[in-house]
Amino acid sequence: MKNLVFKNFIINALGILCSRVLGLVRDILIALFLGAGLYSDIFFVALKMPAFFRRIFAEGAFGQSFLPNFVKARKKGAFCVNIMMQFSLIVLLFCLLVSFFSSFFTKIFAFGFNQETINIASPLVAINFWYLFFIFLVTFLGAILNYKQKFFITSFSAAFFNLSIVIAAFFVDKNYPLKTLYYFSYATVLSGVAQLILHLIILKNNPVIKAMILSIRLKKSKTKMKSFYGNFFHGVLGSSATQISSLLDTTIASFLISGSISYLYYANRVFQLPLALFAIALTQVSFPKILKHIKSNQEVLASKFMQKAMAFLSILLCVSSIAGSIFSLEICQLLFQRGNFTREDSIQTAYVLIAYLAGLLPFGLQKLLSLWLYAKFKQKTAALIAFKALFISLLCSIAFVILIKDENLKVIGVAFSSSLSAFYLLGANIKEFGFKKFFGLISFRFCFLTIIALIIFAAMLYLTKPYILNLFIWIYMGIKG
């Protein structure tokens, strides 16, 4: 991996790390004030809606379609003006629609909620959904920064969302959870405004922004959009499949014991830390590089780049899975077990976390391999793969919920279904990439030595776990004393 790419990965990872650390602080505070029950389930459903459409229209389909078409566009300023104006209007109208019919949309996202719970949740859904409008603009501006190989601002700006919840926590009381929900919801929207302002400040002298302004002044914003929308709508299908899977998990969990939605949320938040820090950070900086090689008909260089990226990512994700599984309970206790979040909640969340971590490696690798499809403008193929994975996840979730008799174990089955679908995603992406080409990237000697090293690492970590915990307790008591 070239030095520039590695440097960009480190910079991007640091930005994501800042955001995720603040995210964990945010989740600690949510667990403190809302626990794992009715009010936390309501808040997570209210957050789920803008997050769902954000990953479809912003980070997902939009991000996968915008950059390849932006690179090809001759009139980049005109292209960006068209995209920004058309999508901003669509997202704005959508936000208004959800605001006026919030009860209907809440029922879709939490079908298991009774009418009383729907009545409490719907105003919060209406407030939180406006975050989508601001975050679309942030994603659009962030894509322009990524084109210039500047990744830190966008990855770091997500910390504003977490920071806003942390600040709001200073003004709430755990004895008034409903009031807390409103404070957290307004803080969510304001964080989107803050992220947008930051990007506008950073991009004020950017040549692409200047080209956009010039295009508007000269009224020459007409440009071909057919290719973009074709890729975008296929990207919407692919991204929506992943998000529908998450939505269905929430919907299924709403029928299970109280707190099930929260267990999935808290465990997934921990799971997302290594996934974002390593897989997402690496894929974000890799995409422009792969695009450049493929556009220049240098597939050999692109393949060599993929080889190094895959080896690097695999080791990081395997180490994270092993350490996260062995210390799952301790992680959940350290992060969440305080206030309204009990020890029983920690145990349940820890088991759900292990179920998610089983799919960390395939989830991460398929993200990297899917870049090849997007760079080749095969968004339709990626969409079909994603929907097949959605179907597998749904069938497994329903099967586990029906077959498992213990109510506490059903939610673990839902999380494990997600991991099973990740293995299909990886296999399908390898097939599209080419089995021969894929196995040509793998050094079996390196794989064998890595597996042996990981087995030794897992055994040593498990055997030394009591001593590691005692060391942390000794350090904690020393600091406290």
Per residue in 169-203, pLDDT (tens digit) is 888 877 788 888 899 999 989 998 998 998 888 88
- Contact status, residue 262 vs residue 254, Cβ threshold 8 Å: no
Give the highest mean pLDDT range of 216-220, 269-273, 352-356, 440-444.
352-356
Q: Which residue has the higher pLDDT, 73 or 365?
A: 365
What is the distance between the alpha carbons of residues 235 and 100, in angstroms, rounded to a whole number? 28
Residue 329 pLDDT > 90: yes
Of the listed ranges 128-132, 265-269, 299-303, 339-343, the least confidently predicted one is 299-303
What is the distance between the alpha carbons of residues 332 and 350, in angstroms, rounded to a whole number? 6
* Cα-trace Rg, the chain: 22
Distance of CA 359 to CAs 238, 362, 397, Å?
A: 19, 6, 15
Residue 230: HSE in the Cβ half-sphere, 13 Å Cα cutoff: 9
DSSP 56: I
- How high is the mean pLDDT of the chain? 81
What is the distance between the alpha carbons of residues 84 and 89, in angstroms, rounded to a whole number? 8
Q: Which residues contact 385 (CB under 8 A, 6 or more apart)?
A: 238, 425, 428, 429, 432
What is the distance between the alpha carbons of residues 344 and 332, in angstroms, rounded to a whole number? 11
Nearest to 68 by CA among 283, 203, 243, 232: 232
- Contact status, residue 59 vs residue 374, Cβ threshold 8 Å: no
Per residue in 27-54, pLDDT (tens digit) is 778 877 887 777 888 888 888 777 777 7
- For residue 48, the model assigns a pLDDT of 75
What is the distance between the alpha carbons of residues 156 and 12, in angstroms, rounded to a whole number? 8
